Structure 1
């Protein structure tokens, strides 16, 4: 209800009602707003904490894989000529690799076909078969729909999809010709073309496209078909032992090692291949473990920190100051970090150069870690991985916090319910204040009207008294 300045009483009803409404609403609204702000901040803090724990669990999972400590690294002394990759079954050692010949696939140029005047040459009706190493592609039928070089090219490309045979047209000084290329390398995988004579209805005959994989020497006739590249196998010597492969990728020459051949080695200059434990990969995952842990500690410290801001002023407090969840989590993971396991040279993080700083974060002594890698690699594996390893123990302690229905999810659920209740209380407060405002306006307007009536009555009585014969004013007349 909208009020106006009292007509009868002259008082400012709007101002009085507004003050009374504010006095009733402000304390409760301030309380709800502060609670909402605090709860929202805590929800954000719990979300950051959950994210940091999740990142730490990812790092724990990565370092808890036995294959990480079984992995091998392989190095080539000349990566331009030979690339290498080692699997977990590779034996640690050094090998001398001499690449004598690279594997190659077949490539042939069929006979040049003279044009039919100003028009492309045409062939008669017949059949044509392309073969790779004795394996035939689907037979190609040549008729009026594909009786040109372009038509036959398209038919070969369609028929050769599965076996990796492609055809293009190259025009040289002798004329236009089909060039066939195979993706299948290795000795004996040459391309040949079987093309019986057609019915003679075209300007050229299909038999002109025939090619035998036995035709190795270059013909004297420039228009004749020729072999551009002969299919051959790779020849490699590993520590003097000959290895032949149909491809340039060898995964059986050295157990667990893949050799990718890229070029021929110089005579008397073999390539050295070294296979060792993948210590660099392990070190990287140890560093990721420390980084993820420090991130988690940083989040906990930030959310539980009390920062003084000056004398007489309230300190700035983190959203989770005094929170039992954060405190219990911190104590739990710290206890596991200092928990000594086993009886070997590596029983705790300090044994490999990882120590705790004053702020609770971890620091790595890189030199000490490298030495541990060399002296006690298996000990590092036992420290982190396995059923009793540090990664497993920490993950088990963290699961109650992050799993579905876990501690953090329940905390978040309670706080979300608090926000919902605050919203409802705000709606209820607005409704109650609106009702109060309406009631006050009614009361003050009723009072104002009564005061107006009383003022009018008073004025009327005074006027009547002044007109009486014995009134002092009348006796002077």
Structure 2
């Protein structure tokens, strides 16, 4: 009906109807918009609160680990020569380490053969037995066999077959061509004395038509030849080192077991009579870092709560800015719960509360660390720290237990979020209802005003007709002549 004007009455019906509809719509629209904005802001605030709680719980979980306090720091005075790591079983101490020899693996070049590209050398069929150590000795020697047939009886074919069969044993093959011909070069990834590569070639059929015998490739890995003979390119040997003067032999450059709970990573030999120093100690720096992480995540949580629950004055003539959760019981109860737990004194040791570590509460509710006092407490009472933080009755577990009702599935925050989401849905429904009601009101008003306009038009026409008739009466005409 929009766009229809009062033809009969001359009244601007569109403007009147629009004004009446706007007056009817505005209060409800404002109410719904205010409620929607408030609810959306609260949903965002609850999400930020839940995220901060989750981050705090992560820090609590990391702190509630006995192994954190059992960890050891390990340092090497020359890390470029010997690296070091220490497990929880390592004892604190200082060790002098000299590295006389590194563990190495075996590499051999088999006998050279004439192998032109246009007529590659071919071998008889049979097997190649590749072993780490002298063939047949000792018992339990690591070895594998490669079957040679017409499909792979070239150097390239044998290289590919060795690479496939030797993958699990760490043996690989390449082809190198020198002044004497082409050779299969075998490399092992396994270090340690007695692990030199050896090869035994056995023909299953006699060589035919210019084929070479597989025995040509046999090499015991012990004696390096000259000229076209097989050669030792690198011998397998074990690492030799001294720890506080005690000789250690290791098959690997990763030395474990020499010092309980400690792994030494040998990278290079040390200079004669210039040992390096390995220090193993309690990892107090790691513990302090985790305590700092606990304080930081707690302060972040307090910051979120403070920001969402405070009222900020912005001027005498302006309304104050209020946080989304001002007066909210959920935030208030959460804050009281964790604050009460923080000051709760437990146990009978020397460290029973955070204040014993130099951790105190500030005016704004956040925590601050007195680093000097913390270092002193850790230096003198490090063994008592686990009892303060870990275990079912430790501070970390107690705080986490207070927080779980808020963050768990179906918990307080999830229920709050669900209720507010339902409020948003209801607001959308109310907007639709309002739109329908306003449309109905507008239609009704147009009908009423148009009916009035039509009636006014009819009355005007009747009045005009009556006046015209009266003016045509005789007496009216005579009167008009006078």
Which bin holds the TM-score, normalised by the shorter protein?
Answer: over 0.9
1:474 & 1:355 partners in 2: Cα distance? 110
The superposition leaves residues 54-107 of structure 1 with CA deviations (integer Å, 9 ceiling, x where unpaired) of 000000010111111111111111111111111111111112222222111111
In structure 2, what is the equivalent of residue 268 of structure 1?
273
- Which 5+ residue runs of structure 1 have no aligned equivalent? none
| Structure 1 position 382, deviation (Å) | 1.9
| Structure 1 position 132, deviation (Å) | 1.7
SS at match of 2:202: coil
In structure 2, what is the equivalent of residue 102 of structure 1?
102
Moved more, 117-126 or 417-426: 117-126
| Structure 1 position 475, deviation (Å) | 5.3
Matched-pair contact (CA < 8 Å) for 1:469–1:475: no
SS at match of 1:41: helix
**In structure 2, which of residues 190, 197, 201 is the aligned counterpart of residue 191 of structure 1?**
197
In structure 2, what is the equivalent of residue 436 of structure 1?
441
1:263 & 1:373 partners in 2: Cα distance? 36
Matching of residue 257 in structure 1 with residue 262 in structure 2 = yes
| Structure 1 position 381, deviation (Å) | 2.1
**In structure 2, which of residues 152, 155, 161 is the aligned counterpart of residue 155 of structure 1?**
161
SS at match of 1:32: helix
| Structure 1 position 213, deviation (Å) | 2.1
In structure 2, what is the equivalent of residue 58 of structure 1?
58
The superposition leaves residues 193-232 of structure 1 with CA deviations (integer Å, 9 ceiling, x where unpaired) of 10135622245332221111222xx43x321111111111
In structure 2, what is the equivalent of residue 213 of structure 1?
221
C-alpha spacing 1:468/1:372, structure 2 compared with 1 (3 Å): same
The alignment covers a number of residue pairs equal to 474
1:66 & 1:255 partners in 2: Cα distance? 20
2:186 & 2:269 partners in 1: Cα distance? 26
1:303 & 1:358 partners in 2: Cα distance? 17
In structure 1, what is the equivalent of residue 170 of structure 2?
164
Matched-pair contact (CA < 8 Å) for 2:130–2:197: yes
| Structure 1 position 164, deviation (Å) | 0.9
| Structure 1 position 472, deviation (Å) | 5.6
1:254 & 1:418 partners in 2: Cα distance? 65
| Structure 1 position 474, deviation (Å) | 5.1
Matching of residue 6 in structure 1 with residue 3 in structure 2 = no
Matched-pair contact (CA < 8 Å) for 1:137–1:159: no
Moved more, 26-35 or 326-335: 326-335
Matching of residue 73 in structure 1 with residue 78 in structure 2 = no
1:213 & 1:171 partners in 2: Cα distance? 20
1:313 & 1:384 partners in 2: Cα distance? 47
The superposition leaves residues 264-323 of structure 1 with CA deviations (integer Å, 9 ceiling, x where unpaired) of 122222221111111011011001001000100100010011111111211000000111
Moved more, 237-246 or 38-47: 237-246
1:148 & 1:448 partners in 2: Cα distance? 109
- Which 5+ residue runs of structure 2 have no aligned equivalent? 136-140
Matched-pair contact (CA < 8 Å) for 2:131–2:144: no
1:116 & 1:183 partners in 2: Cα distance? 30
The superposition leaves residues 344-401 of structure 1 with CA deviations (integer Å, 9 ceiling, x where unpaired) of 3322212212121221111112222111111111222222112222111111111111
1:257 & 1:475 partners in 2: Cα distance? 132
| Structure 1 position 468, deviation (Å) | 0.8
